[in-house]
Amino acid sequence: MKAVWQGRVIAESSDTVVVEGNHYFPRAVIKREFFRDSAHQTYCPWKGAASYYTLVVDGETNENAAWYYAEPKPEASMVADRVAFWRGVEVSE
């Protein structure tokens, strides 16, 4: 699977986990040069607190376009150390 934004591959892996229709990529495969920490957080009742990254590619910014669970609840352990995408990031094979 590939995650692409602004024509750039920002993550690529054959090891994704699909949860609620979202592919979670191993954190180790994201191209860190495109990711900036964000202060934004949300909460999922069964997965826990989600933290976000903002993407910056070729001078373009996509606020809070990637999220992860630093300490997922036990029932969501499959997303530990993984990152998912939205807000225009295309995920495909």
Mean pLDDT of 74-91: 98
Residue 46 CB neighbour total at 10 angstroms:
10
Measure the CA–CA gap between 25 and 69, rounded to whole angstroms: 12
- The CA–CA distances, whole Å, from 75 to 43, 47, 55, 84, 89 equal 15, 7, 28, 17, 27
pTM of the predicted model as reported, rounded to 2 decimal places: 0.96
Residue range 15-28, pLDDT digits in tens = 999 999 999 999 99
**If pLDDT is split at 50, 70 and 90, which confidence band does 6 have?**
very high
Domains of the chain, CATH where assigned? 2-92 (2.170.150.40)
Calculate ∠ Cα 65-42-55, nearest 5°. Answer: 15
Largest CA distance in the chain: 38
